[in-house]
Amino acid sequence: MISCPTIMEISDRDPRVSRRAAQTDLAARETFARRLEEGEFLRMRVVSGMLWVTLEGDPEDHVLAAGDFRQFDGPGLCVMESIDGGAQFEMG
């Protein structure tokens, strides 16, 4: 079951993620999607587990593990799915 969004302070963890970021928990094989508009971006940091991420218009898929950070630039639909068990990530 998806748990979104818990707002938390993360400035001491990764300076590339905004000071206030939403934390999301995904169960095994659960998905989460967010549409990004032109000029909008999504910064993600995986706290635990692994995520498969794809962005509409991006020819590559991305696998992120705990500790990984990535920014996805719009426009397009950004879809994330937990793999190998659940995953927890922060986005801002």
What is the domain partition of the chain in residue ranges? Answer: 3-91
pLDDT by residue for the chain (92 residues), tens digit each? 444 433 333 334 444 444 457 888 999 999 999 999 999 999 999 999 999 999 999 999 999 999 999 999 999 999 999 998 899 999 88
**Three-state secondary-structure class, residue 86:** strand
Contact between 47 and 1 under an 8 Å Cβ cutoff? The reply is no
What class has domain 3-91?
mainly beta
How far is residue 10's CA from residue 81's CA, in Å, rounded to a whole number? 22
pTM for the whole structure: 0.73
Residue 82: name the closest of 54, 56, 51 by CA. 51
Cβ-based neighbour number of residue 36 at 10 Å:
18
